[in-house]
Structure 1
């Protein structure tokens, strides 16, 4: 720009025409050019400086200054140039020099002007673009700074030389509380040392140099986010990342809230752990209390109920029998309440366990009916079991829990039925090769249930109404317990009922199908097929049961409802030469009862040869003797077990050709035939010793009694018992330790005696403890005579089949 001004000035001077010679002072000439160049540069710098500074007012004054300097450049150069010019008069009459044509000089000046104007325009355009780029850069930087300032995290950018290039106020506040902008440009090490020396970081207190060294190491080799605590208790998560050719970007996040939440969570977990521990302790204490109470209550109850049962088997007056029956019923009622409370407590505590053992389904149901038969027949009710023909025989599951549900539902049906019958049915809903869904239904002719009541029947402590408890008793827990047990066995439970029309309670359970074990009793039906049998019973359900069961064995069965029709059928068959091979008579029938009908048959020479079997719902003292005098070859008490009916018929038919009178076949004679053996009872309570011994003697066992575990071990090592009934809690040596000692001895001798726990502890854990000690089975006190006899028959037969096989133990 300065050169252009100089060229323009001196060109213009050269264009002048005069009669004189012009000479220039070299020094002033140079000074004029320098003035033009320097002032022009100053003007341009001032102009660009105005463009780079924010603010319209400031920029306007700066541009005004730049224009003034440019004016000084033109004027200064001009007057310095004029001062450098010296004009000398010429001796020639013509103008000095060659002279220039005015047109040519005008053109040249125009060209020079255009060139200078073009350069000025070019410089202006370039200047505008540079200014626009500068503005854009300023805007981008401003937006970046605003964005960085707006984030809640601290932000910093250090260049490749570890100098702070950019940061936001959050970084200053979180990292070093230094609001001054002088931080920008500081080396990283200086910044963190400043932070440490100002006491901002808790970990740097008293160890500034060490902390700075550790922080530098992390900075130079970032390995992911890390956490540091400030001196005011806040926590920062520092995330650093190195970017090639840019530097290190760091984000500082305040995670104090997260840390506090973690601390609260840890405290909550600790509190929950303590609460769980306390709950477990309380649960253990509750379980221990329940076990203790169970033992303390069941032990005397075993004596009360057991001795009362034995008392009722003796000669008593009517008044004495009434008193004894009352005592037994009260004891059984108390025991039922205790069992409900214990079971409900175990379910609520999640302590219910289920076994997976093989069992005979029919026998499991028959055990329940036999247990409740006396109660049902005492109320004048028929109790009948009707299994479908396609029902599998051997199943896998928990027979104890199945019996518990059945006992509850059948017991309720008997309790709430004044007259009529209770029918238990079992059928297959669906089955595969591996398992079957079995449906049990219990139908009664009792009081029925209103629709609005049915919905709450399966809730805890619920009965139909308050009067139900007052009239029938009970805790209201039985159905709730049954529902939980059925659901745990993969089934469902429900009820269909109407007031005054009886009820049908049903439930389903899924059980595994199992093959019959090698030791299972095989029924020989060859001798019974094609036998002609006449059944006489006034109850239609019982007639259907006889027809179905005997028909399944291949017999030809006719059933009638009364004695007159029975005599008519017998005489007609005799006339036609198709006499009956056997007649099965019910005891209690309207018109002519079974005893009278038997005497009538035996008094008729044409019919006297027909063997007779009596089925009775109520056995009384002298009943067997009366039946024998009436001409019966056998009598059984309902409900009739399928196996007992088969054994009875087979035995009666074997006796038919014997001319001499034979002993009457009863449930007891069949049991005694199968149950003779020597048994050891280990029990420290004298009353319970007598109860167990007497019950076992009644089924034909020879019983030895010992009072503690030491005596039991000694007795087993000397005598080969068929079975041992072992109490678990005894002085000197308890039942668990005694069992382990016996099993150790057997490991050397190669023998194995079945040991059955007989304990007042009824918890599932007690059963597991018994089995873990080496016992084979488990009976809870109070012990029922049939339960004791069943256990003996089961395990004594097992021992006879496999006398030296400890591995054959199992439930």
Structure 2
């Protein structure tokens, strides 16, 4: 209506809005009025609100016209008022309807908006709750990450401070990580190791083993354990036990291998010390054997000599008892020594030509003496033709058969002991020499036949089982080493039969002359022996063979007699009161340009003469002396079978004069002193003293590892360093250590290294004193 009035009175819109409406809008808050208007419509309803609105419009229009009339000096008439009334009545219903619809829509919109706001508030509350939960989760995750980082740092510190190796390799075998111990072993940092494979840091053979074990660990999903020597950059070796395990991710997919290595060098050294203790035990056994054999050999020799005399039957019986008791005791010594060698896996066999006629005759004689003492009947059968000679270990074969015969006699109270010797062929048509020893004794229960060859085993409940329990075990080991076989048949209370089957080896054609009779010369002999009983037995035997024997009881007498007399043979005992046989031999070779053969005479059981020859002897014989072994030695040195020069039936050997080892190379040192001041040479000695402990540590680690190449390399360094400062003794010892081709090198290397360790410091002290004096 206002618009119509404006147009009616022809007032410009812009002017009216500017002059009237804007001030009103600025004066009144329209938003408040609108809310009031809507609230009034809702409260009064459409009809009453329409009447009220019509009255308000008519009133407002009337008042507006009055005011405009006065403003423009236009008198107000009834017509204008009527038009305003009619116009208000017409406009009001439509305006009210329009406003009602708008208000309804607005109300619906408001309600929807309220619902939306309410839902948004709920979502906002949920979002805030989730935000708080997310914030809490983030805080906890950060705490977990910090804790994980701390644990990672602690684990890394633990791995780096551990002396054990740790490494991680991927599926391609490349290193992913490692600890400090691994860096020390490889000589590379972790950064340098990452990406490298075992082939880049290990020798090819070991690298291939590592890769194979890694693959096996991945395929079998099981831990792989092995032991290996690893080299440090400075040359030191350490023995590690390495464990490799497959590494899985969260999905249980193998992503590589992790490994741990523990240094067990000390354990290895302990094992070596145990082996050394075993060697010491061997030395002890050998010493005891020597001490016991000395009187025993006297008993055997003298009883054997007395058996050749004219005696009564009862005296002969007693002598045979003494003789067999001594031989039995000697065989027990052999079993004990062999037991020690079996324990160290060092039982050696010596092949020699055995005259089967003599061998069987000796076996029959020994068996007859034993059976005769117990009143048993002995039968000896040779079935078929036997070879005249065979190649075998004479001593070991006798030892085995003697054990069988002794057991047969021991477990037979009355009846017969039978010995049969024959040849047969095995399934491969190989010729076998067989011995069967059968008795009519108590027999062996069937359930214990397989046990009798066990060490120390004795049949339970058998009152005859009074021996050591090692004879059969040692015999079986000897026969196994000879590639033979032992079988047993036995029936309780009816007796047992032991059968020995050995492959036969015949001497070659070059040995055919062993059957040829050779006239042996009678020679003059110097026997160096300090035990009177041994002297009596050996001298009686040698004199009976037609030789002339002179005796020296110690080293001084031996040196004096050789200087004043001409001998064709020297029999040298090893253990003497003032010096050993090797020392005497060394002194003799230093003092005399020409010497007769020097043959070691020892009560220790030996199977290899090279150890005696390496120490200066020409040959070695065991005690007690036997006619066969002595005559074979005489054949070698004093007949045409031997290659050395023969002068009037006497073999003369030329031996270069050996100088006594000096501590220093004085010639070299004197020459150096002409060019270098003493202070410089003392500095060199101090440097050697500083380096030597490291050299020895690396050398000993290689010895524990049994690494011949490493031993030779480090000994070569020591030899060069010792030679440069003039330590001749140390240099020569190092030369021996670096020479694995030397006979019995491994057996002697411990002694050489120990001599170096024990003497290099004192040699340095003496060298300094010598240099200062110069």
TM-score class, shorter-chain normalisation, is: 0.3 to 0.5
Question: What's the TM-score, normalizing by structure 2?
Answer: 0.47
Give the structure with the higher percent helix: 2
TM-score by length of 1: 0.45
